[in-house]
């Protein structure tokens, strides 16, 4: 449309039909990409963090070995501020203190025991939820993968028994722990 005509007028060159069609499709694609992203990959401004939530994140981070604490705290807070989604969004929700490679390494190769993390989460729930009976929800989800190079990918039994799917899948397993607060 207008952008292609403007470019041709500015450069003083006449376009062939093929060039005109290619440029129109290029501008249309850029327009769609621009509309879809809406700044999602741009660093977001930092905001104040609620004191209670900050205290909880502090307790969770203290259950992790000292060398990884700052990185894990940034990823948790970035994930909370980004509202979920990919790690890239969590990374961009804060002004990162390290390069993206450090966060990638932490997620790929960082080793710490989950038992301390779960104990910290349970301690927060016990302290904050002042009732005699609590409900915990544990769920495991299998994410099928096409490549064995995906982190944690292995052959696992599919308990869902979906039709048209083999009993064992190459997949990643995600385990979620939640609590019901009423």
Q: What is the mean pLDDT of residues 79-99?
A: 80
Same domain membership, residue 153 and residue 109: no
Same domain membership, residue 123 and residue 47: yes
| Overall pTM surpassing 0.75 (yes/no) | no
Confidence at residue 27, expressed as pLDDT on a 0 to 100 scale: 42
Among the candidates 128, 146, 162, a domain finishes at 128
pLDDT over 80 (residue 113): no
Same domain membership, residue 122 and residue 66: yes
Same domain membership, residue 87 and residue 73: yes
Structural domain including 25 reads 2-37
Per residue in 51-76, pLDDT (tens digit) is 888 888 889 889 988 888 888 888 88
As a whole number of angstroms, the distance between CA 40 and CA 59 comes to: 30
| Distance (Å) of CA 79 to CA 91, 93, 123, 164 | 8, 8, 22, 35
Nearest Cα residue to 112 out of 61, 154, 78: 61
What are the structure tokens assigned to 155, written together? 């052959």
Confidence at residue 17, expressed as pLDDT on a 0 to 100 scale: 59
List residues bridging with 66 in a β-sheet. none
| Distance (Å) of CA 106 to CA 30, 59, 87 | 34, 19, 12
Same domain membership, residue 172 and residue 95: no
Domains of the chain: total: 3
């Amino acid at each position: 449309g207008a952008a292609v005509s403007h470019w041709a007028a500015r450069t003083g060159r006449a376009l062939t039909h093929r060039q005109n069609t290619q440029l129109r499709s290029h501008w249309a694609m850029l327009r769609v990409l621009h509309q879809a992203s809406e700044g999602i990959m741009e660093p977001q401004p930092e905001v104040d963090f609620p004191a209670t939530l900050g205290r909880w994140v502090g307790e969770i981070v203290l259950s992790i070995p000292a060398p990884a604490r700052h990185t894990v705290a940034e990823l948790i807070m970035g994930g909370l501020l980004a509202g979920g989604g990919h790690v890239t969004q969590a990374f961009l929700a804060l002004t990162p203190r390290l390069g993206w490679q450090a966060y990638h390494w932490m997620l790929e190769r960082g080793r710490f025991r989950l038992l301390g993390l779960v104990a910290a989460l349970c301690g927060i729930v016990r302290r904050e939820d002042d009732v005699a009976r609590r409900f915990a929800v544990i769920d495991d989800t299998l994410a099928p993968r096409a490549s064995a190079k995906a982190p944690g990918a292995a052959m696992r039994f599919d308990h869902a028994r979906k039709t048209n799917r083999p009993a064992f899948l190459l997949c990643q397993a995600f385990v979620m722990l939640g609590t019901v607060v009423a």
